[in-house]
């Protein structure tokens, strides 16, 4: 399995990577072969292929969709909405409304310090959609 990404003369796989935000060679999600398969299954429709990939991401995220609370709810981590973000993105791609601002996940990493304080840097919808 391989990873490649060229922005100067993008292939269909490169365009899919860009739509999915999967361009980092150190932390990519999909192999080139998987993106090629999505593209073929979608009949060479880039948005449909990206929507398929988003649905795969939603299934994967749902495996980890948990809500954790401790110390009388002083510490709370909620990953239950992450799959919904990918489903919404898939629906936008399928409907052709991809260029409209949508709620998204910039990062799913959380940071809770040793005192149990959530120091995760969250972004609101305005910061995400520009």
pLDDT digits (tens, 9 = 90+) for 6-64: 988 899 999 999 989 899 999 999 999 999 999 999 999 999 999 999 999 998 888 87
Residue 2 domain flag:
no
Residue 7 domain flag:
no
Report pLDDT for 99. Answer: 54
Q: Using an 8 Å Cβ cutoff, are 80 and 67 in contact?
A: yes
Residue 6 domain flag:
no
Residue 3 domain flag:
no
Residue 63 domain flag:
yes
**pLDDT tens digits, residue range 84-124?**
888 988 998 888 765 554 455 444 556 666 676 767 665 55
Q: How far apart are CA 45 and CA 32, in angstroms?
A: 16
- The tokens describing 35, both together, are 């993106």
Total domains, the chain: 1
pTM over 0.95: no
What residues have CB less than 8 Å from 107, skipping those under 6 apart?
121
Higher pLDDT, 76 or 51: 51
Angle between helices 82-95 and 46-62 (to 10 degrees): 170
| Structural domain of 71 | 12-129
Residue 51 domain flag:
yes
Q: Dihedrals φ, ψ of 76, to 5°? A: -145, 130
Residue 101 domain flag:
yes
Residue 40 domain flag:
yes
Angle between helices 32-41 and 46-62 (to 10 degrees): 120
- The tokens describing 23, both together, are 């361009």
Report pLDDT for 102. Answer: 45
């Amino acid at each position: 399995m391989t990873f490649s990404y060229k922005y100067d003369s993008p292939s269909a796989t490169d365009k899919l990577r860009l739509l999915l935000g999967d361009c980092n060679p150190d932390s990519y999600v999909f192999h080139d072969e998987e993106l090629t398969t999505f593209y073929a299954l979608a009949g060479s429709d880039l948005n449909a292929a990206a929507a398929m990939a988003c649905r795969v991401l939603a299934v994967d995220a749902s495996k980890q969709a948990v809500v954790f609370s401790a110390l009388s709810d002083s510490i709370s981590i909620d990953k239950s909405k992450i799959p919904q973000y990918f489903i919404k993105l898939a629906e936008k791609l399928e409907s052709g409304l991809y260029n409209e601002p949508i709620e998204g996940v910039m990062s799913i990493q959380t940071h809770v310090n040793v005192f149990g304080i959530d120091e995760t840097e969250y972004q609101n919808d305005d910061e995400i959609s520009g």
